[in-house]
Structure 1
Amino acid sequence: MDHTTPQNVDPAELAKFSELAHRWWDTESEFRPLHQINPLRLGWIQQQVPLAGRRVLDVGCGGGILADAMARQGAQVLGIDLATKSLKVAQLHALEAETPNVQYREVSAEALAAEQPGQFDVVTCMEMLEHVPDPASIVRACATLVKPDGWVFFSTLNRNPKSFLFAIVGAEYVLNLLPKGTHEYAKFIKPSELAGYCRQAGLDVQASKGMEYNPLTRRYWLSNDTSVNYALATRKAAA
């Protein structure tokens, strides 16, 4: 990795996820919510753009839950992250599960954008923007990495009293769905802010979706309520 340029990364965030790395693929661990929402996210992405045969980049791939699933849909997937331990877990899982067409690299989105501009049909960046110091920089990198007419998907957390209550107080402290300290409210991003970053980067928002959770049934579903968790599907203008 090139250490000459400052990384758009929070060392405390990397340490947090590295500590939990061995638990990524334990579906009853702290990562249970990611395993539960993965089929929903994957299905929504596939509705916008069928993944089979596409070259796909997953930015902030962590232990590879989404990258692995997209590869199993027939995509050629590269997952990138800066948390070394999480990447090792992703690579190990791909070997054990014999997942075809998936690779992982320890590289920042910005560094890869300088190296491989316009090389991917689809770029995904899920549950990652709320963990970096400069989310707009990641959005710009994703826009650079995708081909003209290609798709970029983002998901993150809205910033309002309800999301504070649900995503931090509820998920981390009451229901213990997530490790305490997973999220920092000040880093949450309003949909209007994320849409602004996208527009500035040359990405047009095509669709948005919210995600809801019922703690009694422990069930997640997609809806039009973007007040807590939400995703944006964006597209780069054709050349």
Structure 2
Amino acid sequence: MTSTLNADPAELAKFSDLAHRWWDMNGEFRPLHQINPLRLDWINGICPVTGQQILDVGCGGGILADAMARLGAHVTGIDLSTKALRVAQLHALEAQTPNVQYREVSVEALAVQQPGGFDAVTCMEMLEHVPDPASVVRACAALVRPGGWVFFSTLNRSPKSFLLAIVGAEYVLNLLPRGTHEYAKMIRPSELAGYCRVADLDLRHTRGMEYNPLTKRYWLSADTSVNYLFALQKPADAVL
């Protein structure tokens, strides 16, 4: 691992330490399991995944990658956490998930190897954990074919997000391990939209995600003040 890699060693260590819990539905990653059907339905409604070549960036233990493969996509999941990838691979073997593979490679390195190699790229809950999110956006844009789709989800840097996603989720409700998110690394929608424009991605759809701690229910809405999702399209006439 070189010093120029777009990754925070502390972030990698944090998720590596929890890797064995990825598929524990009642463990630290329970919120990811709960929101996964929402994310999957939204992605599949915009870009039907069956038969598509899809890259999942920052795949972790493979929660989204595995679900997309089960819908008929040909999925490549990439991450820089060796332990999380081993968990993802083991789960795919145990669950006999078809058409999914995992690689330990940075998105920037893969963009050099396979420009335009995918019909769609997903990068969920990952941008707020890297030193240079704009670099990830550029790499995702390079990896998708002209006319293809790129999906991001991340956390807004807002007072409401601080209260709900950090104080509430990590310290009051214990939905996430303490220290999962850093407020300074959160990204405003306007900032992410700017990174995407520079990368020549056209923003087509935006959604927010909300949570009710009483009913323990998540849903998608127009409120992007905490969690939000972007669906972007690479121009069909883009030059690789």
TM-score in terms of structure 1 length: 0.98
What are the within-5 Å matches in structure 2 for residues 222-237 of structure 1?
A: 222-237=220-235
Given the alignment of the two structures, is residue 174 of structure 1 paired with residue 162 of structure 2, yes or no?
no
What is the aligned counterpart of 1:73 among 71, 74, 85?
71
What is the aligned counterpart of 1:88 among 63, 86, 89?
86
Q: Cα deviation per residue 1:77-122 (whole Å; 9 max; x = unaligned)? A: 0000001000000000000000000000000000000000000000
The one-letter code of the counterpart of 1:26 is D
3-state DSSP class of the match of 2:119? strand
Q: Aligned-pair distance for 1:5?
A: 7.0
Unaligned runs of 5+ in 2: none
Q: Cα deviation per residue 1:47-93 (whole Å; 9 max; x = unaligned)? A: 10100000000000000000000000100000000010000000000
State the alpha-carbon separation in 2 of the partners of residues 206 and 29 from structure 1. Answer: 34
Q: Aligned-pair distance for 1:201?
A: 0.2
Partner of 2:9: 11
Q: Cα deviation per residue 1:182-238 (whole Å; 9 max; x = unaligned)? A: 000000000010011000001000000100000011110111100000000000001
How much identity, in percent, do the aligned residues show?
77
Q: Paired residues, what number?
A: 237
Partner of 1:26: 24
What is the aligned counterpart of 1:125 among 110, 115, 123?
123
Q: Aligned-pair distance for 1:6?
A: 1.5
State the alpha-carbon separation in 2 of the partners of residues 81 and 61 from structure 1. Answer: 6
Partner of 2:57: 59
Partner of 2:149: 151
Partner of 2:216: 218
3-state DSSP class of the match of 1:42? helix
State the alpha-carbon separation in 1 of the partners of residues 47 and 13 from structure 2. Answer: 34
State the alpha-carbon separation in 1 of the partners of residues 7 and 156 from structure 2. Answer: 20
Unaligned runs of 5+ in 1: none
What is the aligned counterpart of 2:47 among 35, 46, 49?
49
What are the within-5 Å matches in structure 2 for residues 126-141 of structure 1?
A: 126-141=124-139
State the alpha-carbon separation in 1 of the partners of residues 46 and 190 from structure 2. Answer: 21
State the alpha-carbon separation in 1 of the partners of residues 156 and 139 from structure 2. Answer: 21
Alignment RMSD (CA, Å): 0.7
